[in-house]
Amino acid sequence: MTKIIDGKAIANEIKQEIKKDVAKLEQEYGKKPTLAVILVGNDGASEVYVRMKKKTSEELGINSLQITLDESTTQSELLKLIHELNSDTNVNGILVQLPLPSHIDENIIINAIDPIKDVDGFHPINLGKLVIGSDDSFVSCTPYGCQELIVRNVPDLKGKHLVIVGRSNIVGKPLANIMLQKNERANCIVTICHTATSDIGYYTRQADILVVAVGKANMITKNMVKPGAVVIDVGINRIDDLHNPGKTKLVGDVKFDEVSEIASAITPVPGGVGPMTIVMLMKNTVKAFRLQNKI
């Protein structure tokens, strides 16, 4: 029988672990982690994500510093703020909510964040440390969450064939590097498929673990999956709901109804990878606090 991987339940388990850790840090050291989140402009989706991050921070006992800037904020003004936060020893993690207004260069902003406070894991130094397997790096939150789901559902990862569909800097590339590392939470054989792959099904049918992150609704069908595979669906796509004319629904990159018939375990959309992203951000924030305070 196929196991439906409950990302919300797993995220709640990790939240409880973090909450206890934060309380212990405050008790022993008299202080606790602080996360600064910067929102520039009035993007509706970004505002929702920032509110969720603030709510989760407060729920876990992490100090939340939310900074909202006007759409007209210049790149220089944003850089000045980031430099101030870099220098503030009371701030452990800095996250700039993306996307930014078009007049601001995202790469310049990401590169300006002190790597030891880059809890989003996008700074080139953290990406480089990830490749070489350094313990003091920060892994971007979505692939970090994917790893956690995989680890909790595949007891022995050594030598398992992990196939990733999608090579983005946000999911595909970092996840490949995470799962290549020689440790008990990885040690996989990794294949990446992308737009230049002529027959994606040839590779996905070989996967013991299949992760799909392309943003194309229902792309992966039953005939593209090996029976017994563990399937992690990162995609979030809004499509017309054929059973409710005029309404829409969220689906993943995997055709869930079909693939769930043969997979040993699969994440639903919504409720799979999504809940993991914010909780892994909180885990990174606690790690940043420990690194900065040499705990």
Catalytic positions are 53, 97, 120
**How is residue 273 written in tokens?**
């990878």
DSSP string, 114-137: -GGG-TT--SHHHHHHHHHT-TT-
Do strands 248-251 and 237-240 pair parallel, antiparallel, or not at all (unpaired)? antiparallel
**Element housing 50 (H / E):** helix 44-60
Burial class (CB in 10 A: 0-12, 13-18, 19+), 226: middle
Q: Where are the alpha helices (DSSP H) in 124-170?
A: 124-132, 141-151
Cα 43 to Cα 98, 170, 238, 240, distances in angstroms: 9, 20, 18, 23
Enter the tokens of residue 266: 């699969």
The answer to whether the peptide bond before residue 174 is cis (omega within 30 degrees of 0) is: no
What is the C-alpha to C-alpha distance for residues 56 and 30, in angstroms, rounded to an integer? 21
The C-alpha atoms of residue 271 and residue 117 are separated, in whole angstroms, by 29
Q: Within 10 Å of residue 64's Cβ, how many Cβ atoms?
A: 19
* Separation between Cα atoms, residue 200 and residue 204, nearest integer Å: 6
Q: In this structure, what token pair is assigned to residue 2?
A: 């196929």
Q: Please, are residues 2 and 264 in contact by the beta-carbon 8 Å criterion?
A: yes
